[in-house]
Structure formats: C-alpha cells, structure tokens
Amino acid sequence: MMELEVIGPFSWISASGDAPARIFDVPESRKCGVYLFTLPTAEGNLIYWVGQTSQPLRARIVTHSREFLAGTYNILDMAKLREGHRTVLWQGLWWRKKSPDRYEEYLLSAGEVTPHTLTQLRSTHIFMVPTPKNRRFLARVEASIVNTLYANPDVGPILDQGYHLAPRWETEDPVQIRLNGPSFRGLPCVFYV
C-alpha cells in the first residue's frame, strides 16, 4: 500500500483574515501532484474539480487563474454548490465548437460574470496530494479519484463531465493508495489506481 499525504486547505484568494494560507505563499505549492478544488460544506469537503500536474502546483494554479478569468471555465453558483447542487452561472468556452462566436458574448457579459468568478475563487479550498513526478502515476491517481466520484450519485454530478482520463491499463499492476489527512465527501481514504 502506498500512503499519500493530503495537504491543505489552501485558499486561492484570501476572502478574510481567517481564510487558509494562500496557495501561492506556501512551500508545498512548489511540488507536483494531484490537486482538488473543494468547497467546505456542513457534510464535509465537497470536491468540484480534480487535476494533476507534473509541474509545480503554483504554476498550474496560475494557468487556472488565467483561464477562469478569461471565461474559459464554467463558473458555478457557490451558494447552491454548498447545498450540493451544481448550477452553472457561466458556461465556459472550453472545448466548445462555437467558442470564437461565444467569445464576444463573454466580452459583453464579463462585467456580470467576473464577480461570480471571484466569488468562486475566494470560496475554493485547494488541497494537494504530492506524488512522485511520474506522469503515468499522476494520471492514474486523477482518473481513479474522478471515476470514484462520478460513481457516487451524491457527488458525481458536481464534477464537470468530459474529463480526459487515463486510468490504469490492463498491463499495469493495481496500486492501493491510502490518503492520510482531511476527508472528502464521496472519496474513500483507501482506493486502487
């Protein structure tokens, strides 16, 4: 069994004096691994985004920041998400065939969308699971977490659909993982990748 430590929470943008440390200010952000964008709820940490990076996490978060602010990603209603309901306030331009046509729509509505984007970034708690810098292993961990969450009817609908996942190949031996640290709704602390 491989034991991995969950580190966090960290904030994206400090919303208040009692917010977690900003991800950009902590040494852990210089590591690679799997990361989770979550929203704290009464029932526990609700994952709404799973990612993996073989570069320092801080570099990946800079890219995500740029894409969120450019209208590329979906923007969610954080109040409804806290209640367990996914409501998209802005359907991002990511992988949309009509993205060039919709970019004008985004420019015209950016004044309305941006406050919701900032609310989402301020509300997000980021957790990190540092791993060895092995792209195949990172992809397997990400795929296992996403597929586990998708299979759970209480939390699966919260995630975006259409992740490009690379789960374990039949030629690869399964690896049992134990996550040590904070827990997350719908994600067991022990699973296989």
How many structural domains is the chain composed of?
Answer: 1
CA dihedral (115, 38, 66, 145) positive or negative: negative
Task: Give residue 108's pLDDT.
Answer: 85
d(CA 78, CA 88): 10
> How many Cα neighbours within 13 Å face the side chain of 4?
25
Residues 72-101: tens digit of each pLDDT? 999 999 999 999 999 999 988 876 566 677
pLDDT, tens digit, for every residue of 125-159? Answer: 999 999 999 999 999 999 999 999 999 999 999 99
- Residue 181: which region, alpha, beta or left (left: phi > 0; alpha: psi -120 to 50)? left
Task: Tell me which residue range forms the domain holding 74.
Answer: 2-192
What are the structure tokens assigned to 150, written together? Answer: 């998708």
Q: Is the pLDDT of residue 17 over 90?
A: no
Predicted TM-score of the model (pTM): 0.93
Find where tokens 């977490």 sit: 145
